[in-house]
Structure 1
Amino acid sequence: MLSVALSLALIAAEPAVLTCTTELVVLGVAQDGGAPQFGNSADPAWSNPELRRLATSLGVINHDTGQRLLFEATPDLREQLYRLDQVMMTEARPGLDGIFLTHGHMGHYTGLMFLGFESMGAQGVPVFAMPQMAQYLSTSGPWEQLVRYGNIALQDLREGEGADVAGLTVTPFLVPHRQEYTEVVGFSIDGPDRSALFLPDIDSWEEWDEEGTRIEDMIASVDVAYLDATFFANGEIPGRDMSGFPHPFITHSMARFADLPATEKAKVRFIHFNHTNPVRFPDSPERQQVLDAGFGLADEGERYCLGD
């Protein structure tokens, strides 16, 4: 079995670095609004495109069957599908055999609009959604038009029940997070040889403890874990007490996971960085602090082999 370190590579690397039948591709690592953020004109990413980051999304490609999956439909969907094309092009447009949605917050589903009448005019793209999410899309404009016109075809998901598609089994699990419109889930993604955890949003690990689920057990059950890291620490947003923010700070997660074996720490790939989070900058001391502690930070273009 390949180690996490050997399984991760950049799209820019030579093809020989990563050869597998089924692979996961990181298509975005930012919080819903991306980076730089609207209204923050001082962000150096405005003048340096290399610092820009898209909203959090994963793609999965089965090279044997030619199938492609997407996790989240973000506002950056157009760019992310282009990036997916650079890994494996398909003749079909958009060439997606399934889109899996975690919940009804802006950065996680609004990219569906590009499949609609005013844009691509796609037909029958399978969208896997939990019951409240499916109900929301079916009854709330403008999303219900996508269903009515047949641009998307809703596929039912149920907690703890795996959906088999493209040679994978994708299983949703409920997590505590703001549920203004829909339930919120993460996904266990089981490939032919390795597995991944995708959990971009959660209120706190401790609230999950109270519901009977420990994040440490979830990490232990997979080979790589993409976990909510929206904020680095309290104080990164000037003038605001962030102690009640509904996300686990990276500093808190690192403290909680401090006693895990090095092999378990190495599974963690923090993701979903707010535009204020300093780890998004390659040379920041906070980014180095995370790496020195034995944890990983997801990078756009990163690839992980799920099946040899």
Structure 2
Amino acid sequence: MAIRVRLLGTAAGGGLPQWNCACDNCLAARAGKIPTRTQSSVALSADGRNWFLVNASPDLRVQMEATPALHPRETSARNSPIAGVLLTNADLDHVLGLILLREGEPLSVLATDAVRETLTGPLGFETLLGGFCGIRWEKVTEDFSTLRLRDGSSSGLAVRTIFLPGGPPRFDKTSTAQSGHSVAYQIRDERGARLLLAPDVAEITPELQGALEESEAVIFDGTFWVADELRRINPEARTAQQMGHLPIRDGSLDVLRKSPARWKVFTHLNNTNPILAMDSPERTAVLSAGVLIGEDGLEFEL
């Protein structure tokens, strides 16, 4: 079995174009000059039939319809090939898609205690989904553990959790958790091939660096090009680091340039990021470093 990967969405919260934004990239996307993007989510499978989502964006219904492998099979009137969801944090652009899955079977959701606390507390997801399909919470582990299908059998994939620095989402004022608000996941198949998924990274920790060095594919946080990117639009805006994102320039680009991975892809791209512009020097710098700029629908296999 291989690791099959499809980027369902590659934009940060708001998508591209963002509904209330008239920046250069949003204008270009509306004019058809650059690709539009839905909010970030990834689909993974070992067999091409059973799939796991890494984050469930508000755009999930559109993403699933654009992906035939995620369509229900004709074997019964109601079914889904989605076996579970892995959450890297509790940000709204990563969890609101869970509501769209409410009409199916009980949701299997892998999340840290901190993320679960936010989803069951301020967001009330356990109450909300309890009136429909319900949630079956899965515990994260820092050692590899088997990702299981609905019937309990092995999916052919294993996952381990890499804890990252970061606090709760800005809407959660009640969380008491000291860690676990943001994580990366490393996926391993039965042959030993490894994929690192890290869409929200505030800092390259030793554990994350180790995963970068041993993974054949890396899908990484590309939210902002520079730390003060949003302040060029709104002087009162937070910096990239204050929002929990390592900027590409003077940050993640050099790290990924040195990574031995065969596939290196930036995702979770904010609409203000200059690497989205087809003729920008920033885009050229990324591609010259051997890193792809993720687009919705990008597929590859390890």
Q: TM-score, normalised by structure 2?
A: 0.80
SS of residue matched to 1:51? coil
Aligned to 2:249: 251
Task: Say whether 1:270 aligns with 2:266.
Answer: yes
Aligned to 1:132: 114
CA distance in 2, matches of 1:216, 1:125: 32
Q: What does 1:58-97 correspond to in 2, within 5 Å?
A: 58-63=42-47, 66-85=49-68, 90-91=73-74, 92-97=78-83
Distance change in 2, residues 1:83/1:56 (3 Å): same
Identity %: 23
Q: What does 1:105-124 correspond to in 2, within 5 Å?
A: 105-116=91-102, 121-124=103-106
Aligned to 1:293: 289
Q: What does 1:116-195 correspond to in 2, within 5 Å?
A: 116=102, 121-161=103-143, 162-165=145-148, 166-180=155-169, 181=172, 183-193=181-191, 194-195=193-194
* Alpha-carbon distance, 1:225 to partner: 0.9
Paired residue total: 274
- Name the amino acid aligned to 2:99: M
Deviations 1:138-174 (A, max 9, x none): 3445412344235143232234042423210011221
* Alpha-carbon distance, 1:105 to partner: 0.6
Q: TM-score, normalised by structure 1?
A: 0.78
Distance change in 2, residues 1:77/1:49 (3 Å): farther
* Alpha-carbon distance, 1:61 to partner: 2.7
Distance change in 2, residues 1:22/1:268 (3 Å): closer
- Name the amino acid aligned to 2:224: F
- Is the Cα contact below 8 Å between 1:27 and 1:59 reproduced in 2? yes
Which runs of at least 4 in structure 1 moved beyond 4 Å after TM superposition?
86-89, 139-142
- Is the Cα contact below 8 Å between 1:197 and 1:224 reproduced in 2? yes
Aligned to 2:18: 37
**Alignment counterpart, residue 213 of structure 2, candidates 203, 220, 239:** 220
Unaligned runs of 5+ in 1: 1-19
Superposition RMSD on alpha carbons, in Å?
2.7
Unaligned runs of 5+ in 2: 149-154, 173-179
Distance change in 2, residues 1:183/1:48 (3 Å): same
CA distance in 2, matches of 1:89, 1:280: 33
CA distance in 2, matches of 1:54, 1:294: 24
Distance change in 2, residues 1:276/1:133 (3 Å): same
- Name the amino acid aligned to 2:290: G
* Alpha-carbon distance, 1:46 to partner: 2.2
Deviations 1:248-268 (A, max 9, x none): 1111235643883xx626543
SS of residue matched to 2:96? helix
CA distance in 2, matches of 1:75, 1:131: 22
SS of residue matched to 2:6? strand
